[in-house]
Amino acid sequence: MADLHGVFPYLVSPVHADGRVKDEVLGRLVNDLVGAGIHGITPLGSTGEFAYLNSAQRETVVRVTIEATAKRVPVIAGVASTVTRDAVEQAQRYQALGADGILAILEAYFPLKDAQVEHYFRAIADAVDIPVVIYTNPQFQRSDLTLDTIARLAEHPRIRYIKDASTNTGRLLSIINRCPQLKVFAASAHIPAAVMMIGGVGWMAGPANIVPRQSVRLYDLCRAKRWDEAMALQRKLWQVNEAFARFQLAACMKAGLEIQGYPVGDPVPPQVPLSPADREAVAKILADLPA
């Protein structure tokens, strides 16, 4: 199995107004991200608007991403559903397309008990032969993963990673201490350099769409334990994370990519694009960033 580490952009999903995926734009973006040195790529994460795409759109995004990477970096495809059987079928389909791993996301209409949450993730991991990253995001999920549930899931041979999008960095350290076999990826809510310092292996986050080279540079500095230089760069890059938190996720990243020359289009309705003033704010942030 692949050893996953480094910077994994949560890829945006460029979609025409009529719902067709913009294959050429997506392929060019993926190719450029790989050329910028990113270590892997994750279609259908939160920034990929998975909750707003139908099954055919999701599959197209995964297929185009896999084709564009041409096996140069691993593709970890997002799987999400309120129905366990559907999530399992998605995971199997994406593995058949050539995905190198699965990002398992739990959707829930009603709150679920720990045993039900655990069963959902285990069913996905049981159904595939590739690594599974479990994803916890208390801001969006009705049922979170407790530390006890995470510890039990970490015993599964294919559940080798977790991407934790809580705002509690202490929780990440608790996971690392309790489950040393489970490798931790940070989210945009965390300071990447800080997570690397406590033992994280990288980050899966939307901002890397628009600052891939700078993100890779930050990762390299952290791996080299050049913490003073890493924190100097981290301070400059943090304004991107602040913008990401301030504006809607996909709208912010799509506006940034449009400014950079990628015609990715608007976020999928009922989401709305950034206002002209907010778009100008994003443009200013990009202009002020180190090259």
pLDDT in tens, 8-46: 999 999 999 999 999 999 999 999 999 999 999 999 999
What are the domain boundaries of the chain? 6-227
DSSP-derived letter for residue 21 is: B
pLDDT at 108: 83
For 175-231, what is each residue's pLDDT tens digit?
Answer: 999 999 999 999 998 999 999 999 999 999 999 999 999 999 999 999 999 999 999
What is the mean pLDDT of the segment spanning 74-83?
97
Residue 221, φ and ψ in degrees, nearest 5? -65, -40
Instruction: Band the pLDDT of 2: cuts 50, 70, 90.
Output: confident
pLDDT at 259: 97
Start-to-end CA span in the chain (Å): 34
Name the catalytic one among 22, 163, 183, 254: 163
Q: How far apart are CA 220 and CA 214, in angstroms?
A: 10
pLDDT at 249: 85
For residue 151, pLDDT over 80 is answered with: yes
Amino acid identity at 219? Y
Whether 107 and 141 have beta carbons less than 8 Å apart is answered as yes
Taking CA atoms, 106 is separated from 3, 131, 135, 200, in Å, by 23, 17, 8, 22
Which is the CATH superfamily of the domain at 6-227? Aldolase class I (3.20.20.70)
236 is catalytic: no
pLDDT at 111: 85
Name the catalytic one among 135, 161, 219, 262: 135
Taking CA atoms, 172 is separated from 106, 154, 184, in Å, by 19, 14, 7
DSSP-derived letter for residue 9 is: E
For 79-135, what is each residue's pLDDT tens digit?
Answer: 999 999 999 999 999 999 999 999 999 988 888 999 999 999 999 999 999 999 999
The full DSSP string for 159-214 is: EEEEEE-SS-HHHHHHHHHH-TTSEEEE-TTS-HHHHHHHT--EEEEGGGGT-HHH
CA angle 173, 175, 177 (to 5 degrees): 65
pLDDT at 204: 96
Q: How far apart are CA 148 and CA 178, in angstroms?
A: 9
Q: Give me 105's structure tokens.
A: 């996301």
163 is catalytic: yes
Q: Give me 154's structure tokens.
A: 């970490």
For 230-270, what is each residue's pLDDT tens digit?
Answer: 999 999 999 999 998 888 889 999 999 999 999 999 999 99
Q: Give me 229's structure tokens.
A: 């230089």
